[in-house]
Structure 1
């Protein structure tokens, strides 16, 4: 038995999680993991289907005496966000996640852990394998490509599921029951670039902003965390008038739904100004560290030698720096109805510079569709004023809360019996697949719950082992109660 598995309970649940962690499953590269899920279910004697987009649909018969009970669908996504610390030697297309135990926590070595949503997949598989849980008919829906566009949920066809109730296993806080979420859409902004020769005698440098926490662009957007792209743009905009450097390119962030932890710019600078430039950088680093304070204390700047012999035209460089300063990032509005809930936000998540084009990717979320549309239109207007083209893509609906639904009462009562206290009923600013599924299955009641996990979408992602055990107990008890 795996030495790590020997320390974990319940073993069947964790064995599925650890096996899944061996399979590369970054978004849009999760086919092998989906195949593994299907193969495991077939080996257990379950009925297995694959739909046109690659989702796995599994059915398990009710245990004797519960055939007439409502069908329950367990839903999770098989893909994960692939983030790693700079300097970590890990290839997400072939290397297994290196899971290790840190007291009551599970972490990964230098990368995202994939507890989002490997925990949900493992729980569903453990239910399928169990001969001890008394349950009605069960469906399991394992979707693909949730993290980069909700492709699986979007492609799910009406009529494929028969369940009355759906348990989404993609939440990240014990003691809470999620019954609603925000919708979202991406804005892609681009500008064609003109390249010119680097100034004579200049030297290439790479200016790096790194060490930030990053985080989930929905859950953590109101946590006052630094955005590496925005901070880099602020520094470039402040220093360019005095140092007159050429800008070869800017790169930052990896996922549109992760707050950027790192960003860098390649500059062509007069070597005679290097010392003064480094001194100015130190001043700006101190300023930003003070501004972020305890919210994000790990910020660092670095200036390294690099290579480049061409830069953007002055017009392109100026337009790019100004756009990055003008585009919104962070909380736009808080909910007037639910205390502490972000209503509308934008994450300026990714920038990439290619030879002839620069691209900026933003994700806008809101629980109010009109507010989301209005903010996306303002982003488009800002892009147009800056000489950038833009378009909106990947839109998905929110999930309207139904606090009086019977499933909410069943899960809440079950938690009360198990742990002696009710769940806190909530809606979240992050996106869940429930919005898309509910749009196609309008009579299906849905809730979402899960164990404590933190810093998802970052290499600091970790999950509580005792909380995962409680999550499992609640899931089993709900299935027996329905």
Structure 2
């Protein structure tokens, strides 16, 4: 990490690099949270933990700021664990291989964890800095944001004393987020029957790869390909034409990431292998042309595989049918905010087990009625394909309050420091503010962050100059709060 030693602000980057050495995939944050607590204690903070594993770090007001109301900072310690195929990285034990690429910081072949490691590092830096004249400061660090908002969902009313909360989980410099979508998960499950493959058949892996993927909320409207859906399109075109038997379908790794890779094990009569390969090559070209610059590196190909027992013909038709017909992508745009997706679904994961196939959908909407209606449609489509659907209770959205005193403060500080007002917006993604606001009615909230791109993918990167501006901005807010 020698090329990172001169990054500014040093305090923030040192915390981020320290955190990057500790595995912290969702539901594996114990060591990382212990490290956060140790840093807070070293900075002279009072520390509390709750039953679900969140940490609340408190620091007294700087001299002369004792009369000001407290303010809370909030970030989540976990990260999405995605890597490129062939990258020898074990997220359970290996540090993230962070490196500098010009004016950006990236990771080698994996997600970087700037989402939300930069937020945690900034909050720790605010606690440890000797020259920040802040009021009484609370830092809420939550667990398991990425796979279920577990930490925010388990947060107890009354724990926070502050009535103003600044979330540090936004991803665009100069933008002030004041609202977000709610979400609900649906998992469709079909019990399947296994049969012996036809005599003399050859097993092949039909693979879709090379897609950009991305955040299932922020990037859902970008038109990028979903590997699970594309795999289903190819299977629909070749299974009957080449009398294929289907053994398994797998794709996607995270419910909240657009699937970048997917594959199916198929068994083919060797006499038809060449014709199948020709069709797959033709379909790959058609889909590359269709996606164009949105996903130029799409690859669809065949490779040898180990033979498996296959799904019955009825099960194979039902699985491919659901992957073709199940909702994915933008359902509705906001009628009030130009360019904002209002309702969408991400077909995030398909898994084949010995006795069942499961397909996960994550539905988001700023409108609870729309969210429920789309989840009901997923259940109806799944039922037609012989799948049973189970779902979570979901999580609430965050209603924008553009005239709150906190929003005025944050926007005013930005104009003072940088000479321009912020872009005030709501986003089509889940932020913990929705759940926090539900448990703390009347809490004034806003969300800021530096510029980062391609989060939830191995192309994740964060702007170094933007982190510098973010730190200056955060200090400015705390000193004027």
RMSD of the TM alignment (CA)? 0.7
Match of 1:106?
A: 105
Q: Check conservation: 1:454, 1:462, Cα contact below 8 A.
A: yes
1: CA distance, partners of 2:74 / 2:66: 21
Superposed, 1:413-432 pairs within 5 Å as 413-432=412-431
Tell me the CA shift for residue 309 of structure 1. 3.5
2: CA distance, partners of 1:38 / 1:344: 38
1:41 and 2:40 matched: yes
1: CA distance, partners of 2:393 / 2:5: 42
1:340 and 2:339 matched: yes
Tell me the CA shift for residue 394 of structure 1. 5.1
Q: Check conservation: 1:149, 1:394, Cα contact below 8 A.
A: no
Tell me the CA shift for residue 480 of structure 1. 0.3
1:101-129 alpha-carbon deviations (Å, 9 max, x no partner): 00000000000000000000000000111
Tell me the CA shift for residue 39 of structure 1. 1.2
1:363-422 alpha-carbon deviations (Å, 9 max, x no partner): 000000000000000000011111000011150000000000010000001000100000
Q: Check conservation: 1:153, 1:433, Cα contact below 8 A.
A: yes
Tell me the CA shift for residue 42 of structure 1. 1.1
Match of 1:15?
A: 14
Match of 2:199?
A: 200
2: CA distance, partners of 1:27 / 1:17: 17
Match of 1:81?
A: 80
2: CA distance, partners of 1:176 / 1:264: 38
2: CA distance, partners of 1:113 / 1:426: 25
2: CA distance, partners of 1:454 / 1:5: 19
Q: Check conservation: 1:112, 1:458, Cα contact below 8 A.
A: yes
1:58-95 alpha-carbon deviations (Å, 9 max, x no partner): 10000111111011101000000000000000000000
1:320 and 2:319 matched: yes
Q: In structure 1, the residue corresponding to 2:172 is in which secondary structure? A: coil
Tell me the CA shift for residue 4 of structure 1. 3.1
2: CA distance, partners of 1:362 / 1:242: 29
Tell me the CA shift for residue 44 of structure 1. 1.6
Q: Check conservation: 1:183, 1:395, Cα contact below 8 A.
A: yes
Superposed, 1:333-412 pairs within 5 Å as 333-393=332-392, 395-412=394-411
Tell me the CA shift for residue 5 of structure 1. 3.4
Unpaired runs of 5+ in structure 1? Answer: none
2: CA distance, partners of 1:116 / 1:270: 47
TM (normalized to structure 2)? Answer: 0.99
2: CA distance, partners of 1:312 / 1:45: 60
Task: List, as ranges, runs of 4+ consecutive aligned residues in structure 1 with deviation greater than 4 Å.
Answer: none
Tell me the CA shift for residue 7 of structure 1. 2.4
2: CA distance, partners of 1:289 / 1:201: 33
1: CA distance, partners of 2:80 / 2:276: 36
Superposed, 1:52-67 pairs within 5 Å as 52-67=51-66
1:435 and 2:430 matched: no
1:464 and 2:463 matched: yes
TM (normalized to structure 1)? Answer: 0.99
Deviates more, 1:316-325 or 1:388-397: 388-397
Q: Check conservation: 1:5, 1:15, Cα contact below 8 A.
A: no
Q: Check conservation: 2:22, 2:31, Cα contact below 8 A.
A: yes
1:275-305 alpha-carbon deviations (Å, 9 max, x no partner): 1001000110011001101111110012111
1:235-278 alpha-carbon deviations (Å, 9 max, x no partner): 00111121011100000000000000000000011111111001
Q: Check conservation: 1:33, 1:78, Cα contact below 8 A.
A: yes
1:139 and 2:138 matched: yes
1:94 and 2:93 matched: yes
1:304-361 alpha-carbon deviations (Å, 9 max, x no partner): 1101231000010000000100100000000000100000000000001011111101
1: CA distance, partners of 2:3 / 2:52: 35
1:26-76 alpha-carbon deviations (Å, 9 max, x no partner): 000011101111111112221000000000101000011111101110100
2: CA distance, partners of 1:311 / 1:394: 35
Report how many aligned residue pairs link the two structures: 481
1:149 and 2:148 matched: yes
Tell me the CA shift for residue 23 of structure 1. 0.3
2: CA distance, partners of 1:222 / 1:394: 25
